[in-house]
Amino acid sequence: MSLIHIVTESSARFLDPTPVGHPQVHFAPVTVRFPDRSVEERPDLGLEAHRSAFTANPGHAVCDPPSVKQLERIYSDLQQHTDQILSIHTSAGISGGYRNALRASETFLGRSDIQVIDSASLSAGLGILVSAALKAAQRGLTLEDVVRLIRGLIPRLYVVFFLDDLVYLERNGLVSKSQAILGNMLGILPFLTVEHGRLITMEKVRNRPRAQEKLVEFVTEFASIEHLVLLHSTPEPDEETRLVAERLQAMYPDLSIAYIDYGPAAATYLGLNGLGAVVLENEGEPG
């Protein structure tokens, strides 16, 4: 039986860097387009190197998922090594990568078993699923069992965040242009989650301390957590991120809290000063 190979998007972020560069994990390119340039996302690419491009073009950065042709090329190359491929993608409600992968996989019907999964998540949430798939494949699980495992993790995976510039929500169709302008004038910070694969505004608050409070409140609703990641925009966790982490650590003293800085692709949704949390709930806990 050939080894299972995993395809995902280059916007994935990882708690453990093992999948990056691993021979069984392959990254389909996600591209961030500005009016005057394009940036190809990488799992290790931080936002800082391209922050000035966002600042110079507020609200005009577009995130392009891997195309059908790019995915077909990756699947074709992998046929030289395996006939078992698991392709895990950013939520279909946020990006077109999943739909493109489905279309690309149709070309290989009867030649390869390509299983395409909608993660219903993004960034570090996507990375958690890819890491779990790689570990399962290394344990010798069949492709069917790995797919079953990943589909079982998805309902336990949660993403929430807040941002301070509504132009990013307007660009992604979540608010109107007039709402974005008025909200920015009033200093409104939306608190969002990924629900059923789509970005949903849960609440709007008037200052960052209250937004921090909402983030902490959301996470502490979980009785038991397997993984907790704080997504921040700076190369190293800033004072705000560490303050949130300290409060959460007090609630979960035995939990290791990971810090991950998000890249340009996630910034097209989270903006330049967002703060988020990715939670993988322990199995057996009520959702």
pLDDT digit string, tens, across residues 65-74: 999 999 999 9
- What's the average model confidence in pLDDT over 112-138? 97
Question: Which helix (H) or strand (E) is 140 found in, with range?
Answer: none
Residue-wise pLDDT tens digits, 61-117: 889 999 999 999 999 999 999 999 999 999 998 899 999 999 999 999 988 999 999
Torsion angle of the four alpha carbons 146, 152, 153, 154, in this order, in degrees rounded to the nearest 10: 110
The CA distances from residue 241 to 30, 218, 229, 244, 259, in Å, are: 27, 15, 11, 5, 9
Residue 181, pLDDT above cutoff 70: no
**CB neighbours (10 Å) of residue 204?**
18
Question: If you average pLDDT over every residue of the chain, what do you get?
Answer: 90
Q: For 169-197, what is the mean pLDDT?
A: 70
With tokens 């110079």, the residue in question is 56
Q: How confident is the model at residue 6 (pLDDT cuts 50, 70, 90)?
A: very high
User: How far is Cα 240 from Cα 233, in angstroms, rounded to an integer?
Assistant: 11
Write the pLDDT tens digit of every residue in 37-63: 999 999 999 999 899 998 887 778 889
Average of pLDDT values for 247-275? 93
Domain extents for the chain? 5-155, 157-281
Report the Cα 286 to chain-centroid distance in Å: 23
Which pLDDT score, from 0 to 100, does residue 200 have? 82
pLDDT digits (tens, 9 = 90+) for 199-220: 888 888 888 899 999 999 999 9
pLDDT at 69: 98
Q: Which has more pLDDT, 130 or 180? A: 130
Distance of CA 137 to the CA centre of its chain: 21
Residue holding tokens 């960052």? 208
Residue 176 binned pLDDT confidence (cut-offs 50, 70, 90): low
In this predicted model, which residue has the larger pLDDT, 57 or 137?
137
Of 73-77, 148-152, 272-276, give the lowest mean pLDDT range.
272-276
Q: Which tokens belong to 166?
A: 């509504």
Token readout for 210 is: 């209250």
pLDDT at position 190 = 83
Q: Is 152 helix (H, G, I), strand (E, B) or coil?
A: helix
Residue 114 DSSP symbol: E
Residue 1 pLDDT more than 70? no
If one looks up domain 157-281 in CATH, what number appears? 3.30.1180.10
> Which residue, chain included where needed, has tokens 């570090």?
124
Alpha-carbon gap, residue 58 to 45, rounded angstroms = 20
Report the predicted TM-score, pTM, of the whole model to 2 decimal places.
Answer: 0.93
User: Residue 159: what pLDDT?
Assistant: 94
Provide the strand spans (E) within the chain.
5-9, 25-28, 31-34, 37-40, 62-64, 84-89, 113-118, 157-162, 189-195, 198-205, 225-232, 257-261, 275-281
pLDDT at position 178 is 66
In terms of average pLDDT, the best of 43-57, 119-133, 190-204 is: 119-133
Confidence tier at 36 by pLDDT (50, 70, 90): confident
**Given a cut of 70, is residue 169 above it in pLDDT?**
no
Query: What's the whole-number mean pLDDT along residues 233-240?
Result: 94
Max Cα–Cα distance, the chain, nearest Å: 60
Which CATH number describes the domain made up of 5-155? Answer: 3.40.50.10170
What's the token pair of residue 18?
A: 């093992």
pLDDT band at 2 (very low <50, low <70, confident <90, very high): confident
